[in-house]
Amino acid sequence: MQSSSYSQLDLGDLDRLSNQLTAFRRSLSGKLMYAEGFHGTLSALDTQQQRLSASLDMVRKTELLQSSLRLLDMAIDERDYDQASLYAQRALNIPHSIITSQFADTVVPSTHHPEPPLQRLDNSLDTLNEIFISHFNQASQSLDQAEISRFFKLFPKINRKQDGITAYSYFVVKLIQRKFKGGMDSLDSLRALLDSIASVLEDHQPVVHKYYGSEYMVTVLHSLLAELDDKANVIFLNWTRNLSTLENGELKHINTEISQLSGLASHWAAFKLFIMSNLNTDDSMKHILSSSTTAHLLRQHINDTYIPLEMAHFKSTMKEALEANEIDEDALPYTSSILEDTFYIYKGLLDRLVGCGDVSVLKNAVDGIIRVFQQSFIEKMQMDFDNNIKPRTSKMIAQQSKVGGSTAGSRSKALKIAVCLNNLDICSEYNMRILSDLPKDSNLHRFYDPENIAPVKDQLLRLKEISDHVQTSLTSCLNTLFATTFKNPIKDCLKTSMDVTNYDKNADAQSKVFVTMFEREWSAVFDKWNNSLTANNFDEVFIKSTTHLIQLWENFVLNSHTLKFSVSGAIQFEKDVYDLLGYLSGLSNVGIRELFSRIRQISSVLNEQGSSTSRNYWKLTASEISTLKSMKLANDSL
């Protein structure tokens, strides 16, 4: 019963709540409909207000257009061109949609100007443009800087930048023409013209950039390049005619011409880099510069005229230097004038070639440089060396073996031999020094784009082949010098020293007979060469001679059928080995201790006590050790 009454109460409450919710929904729906209607009304009012504002703005701007056109015409009539440009600028700032609107077409035209406002504005601007051009040209003719500057700045205000920059370009070209006072037959005049163009571009670029924009400087450059091409055509034609009249023997004149041509190439390379870096242009400008008539003529004459002339001049001047070659007998080590003369010529040649600013020029010239260097210097030094070192008759052979003598002829021959060897040695050093200095980025960036730096360095590295050829020739000469001058005297030196030494008798442990005699004989052979040769050359001869000496000494001991060693004699022999090592080590900076390793082990075997070998003599064979042991006497009484 109680449960049933609660259920009835709950259902009744729910019905009331449902009715109340329905009534509320109806009330809210009505309010929402009212709000939507109100919002629509506001939106309509906003739209009407925007339309009214736009209409008022159109009216104001059309009125401004009308007044601007009227004042523009008045300023033109009154020749107040500065004011006219301001009115024109004011009209141009009005949106194009208003100028071309039907409302403007209806309101602005008058009986005096019935045309549409856009046409009227264009006509006025055309009139102003013609006036500005006329006045600018007049000011250019009279070089009235104030008027030139005035009208130059007015063109952008009337939206005629292209016409203004064109007129300005003509003016700049006239400036160049006035400055150009060089003859039309010298390449130096073309270099001067490049300098003038670069100077004008540098001076005028800020002004053009400020009033027109950086891109408009390209128009000026086009005009200047056209003028440059015209002049280049005439100058190269006249220069070629003059060049054809030169005789091959006129080295001074040829040097002047190749210097002019390489100097022009350097100027052109620097000019291109200046344009690309200062005008902020893209790759199209690089193409324009590279495809210009000036660039074409320069490439043609560099490849067809300059490189052949440069190689011929290099060969001729090298020949002259060789003919004037003189030995400096007061300087040690001995050299001759050909060395300094050659590298003065060579350095100048490389400076010109690198300065041309064209990788292909280097590529085309490197093989020729190597060939001329090989023929004119290296082969000449080799030939002079051979003529002085190699005996031709039996009498000369006998004299050659006594080259260490003190006759005037011997000294003269040794001097000439030393000069050839030293010239070759220093030549290689000089070449590597030049090639290490030339490719420095600070030098190359003056003439080459960053992407061309590496190829230039690669071409210059090819010139290391000169040093390779020099080293090959020098090695051959040093081998010949050793074979003809040192080989036999060293053998005699060792024999003489061994002849005064007896290792089979009781010997004084402090005796210096062997080393004393050896020093005297060795000095007679080497003293004159020690100072006359470069350190490199002397070291090469010294190491060959020392190697040969040790081999002879080893063979003398191991292959002797009569040589015997007493106990004290073996001790003396070991002392002689170490004394000789000390003496020879003091004569050169070359390490020779390793050369003495076998002879030292020989002395150790001879001094070893007992019948068993207690040490590991890795430099000697078992047979050699056995032979040495058989040479030891049982006691000193024999």
End residue of a domain, out of 103, 118, 152: 152
Q: How many residues are there in the chain?
A: 638
Which DSSP symbol is given to 335?
E
User: pLDDT band at residue 450, thresholds of 50, 70 and 90?
Assistant: confident
- Residue-wise pLDDT tens digits, 462-515: 999 999 999 999 999 999 999 999 999 999 999 999 988 888 876 555 578 899
Range of the domain at 49: 17-152
pLDDT score of 75 more than 50: yes
Q: Are residues 171 and 78 in the same domain?
A: no
Task: Return the higher-pLDDT residue of 415 and 616.
Answer: 415
Q: Are residues 471 and 337 in the same domain?
A: yes
Residue 638 lies in a domain: no
Rounded Cα–Cα distance for residues 86 and 533 (Å): 86
SS3 459: helix
Q: Are residues 183 and 167 in the same domain?
A: yes
Q: Count the alpha carbons within 13 Å of 501 in the hemisphere toward its beta carbon.
A: 32
Residue 487 lies in a domain: no
Residue 10 lies in a domain: no
pLDDT score of 598 more than 80: yes
Q: Are residues 198 and 249 in the same domain?
A: yes
Residue 400 lies in a domain: yes
User: Containing H/E element for 328?
Assistant: strand 327-328
- Residue-wise pLDDT tens digits, 121-144: 999 999 999 999 999 999 999 999
Whole-number pLDDT of residue 30: 64
Q: What are phi and psi of 260, to 5 degrees?
A: -65, -45
pLDDT score of 407 more than 80: no
- Mean pLDDT for the stretch of residues 45-53: 65
Whole-number pLDDT of residue 42: 62
Q: Are residues 581 and 534 in the same domain?
A: yes
- Residue-wise pLDDT tens digits, 349-390: 999 999 999 999 999 999 999 999 999 999 999 999 999 987
Q: Are residues 467 and 369 in the same domain?
A: yes
User: Containing H/E element for 327?
Assistant: strand 327-328
* Cβ atoms of 275 and 221 closer than 8 Å: yes
Task: Report the DSSP beta bridge partners of residue 2.
Answer: none
Whole-number pLDDT of residue 135: 95
Task: Report the DSSP beta bridge partners of residue 632.
Answer: 565
User: pLDDT band at residue 329, thresholds of 50, 70 and 90?
Assistant: confident
Whole-number pLDDT of residue 161: 94
Task: Return the higher-pLDDT residue of 259 and 253.
Answer: 259
Over pLDDT 90: what percentage of the chain? 55
Residue 208 lies in a domain: yes
The chain-wide mean pLDDT, for the chain, equals: 86
Which tokens is 473 given?
Answer: 């020739």
Which DSSP symbol is given to 565?
B
pLDDT score of 445 more than 50: yes
- Mean pLDDT for the stretch of residues 548-564: 93
- Mean pLDDT for the stretch of residues 100-104: 85
Residue 401 lies in a domain: yes
End residue of a domain, out of 152, 182, 200: 152
Q: Are residues 147 and 169 in the same domain?
A: no
Task: Return the higher-pLDDT residue of 505 and 600.
Answer: 600
Residue 489 lies in a domain: no
- CA 498: distance to chain centroid? 61
Nearest to 323 by CA among 337, 334, 344, 340: 337
Considering only 383-397, 409-423, 621-635, which range has the smallest mean pLDDT? 383-397
**Domain total for the chain?**
4
Which tokens is 142 given?
Answer: 């009279």
pLDDT score of 149 more than 60: yes
Domain containing 580 — which CATH number?
Answer: 1.20.58.1970
Whole-number pLDDT of residue 478: 96
User: Containing H/E element for 320?
Assistant: helix 307-323
- CA 171: distance to chain centroid? 38
**Helix 464-481 × helix 535-558 angle, to 10°:** 40
Considering only 200-204, 476-480, 541-545, which range has the smallest mean pLDDT? 200-204
Q: Are residues 466 and 574 in the same domain?
A: no
End residue of a domain, out of 480, 512, 546: 480
* Cβ atoms of 448 and 456 closer than 8 Å: yes
- Mean pLDDT for the stretch of residues 590-615: 86
pLDDT score of 5 more than 50: no
pLDDT score of 1 more than 60: no
* Cβ atoms of 574 and 607 closer than 8 Å: yes
Residue 317 lies in a domain: no
Q: Are residues 584 and 526 in the same domain?
A: yes
- Residue-wise pLDDT tens digits, 277-316: 887 666 778 888 888 999 999 999 999 989 999 998 999 9
User: Containing H/E element for 256?
Assistant: helix 251-278
Nearest to 353 by CA among 460, 478, 475, 226: 460
Q: Are residues 294 and 335 in the same domain?
A: no
Q: Are residues 83 and 48 in the same domain?
A: yes
Q: Are residues 437 and 528 in the same domain?
A: no
Rounded Cα–Cα distance for residues 476 and 66 (Å): 98
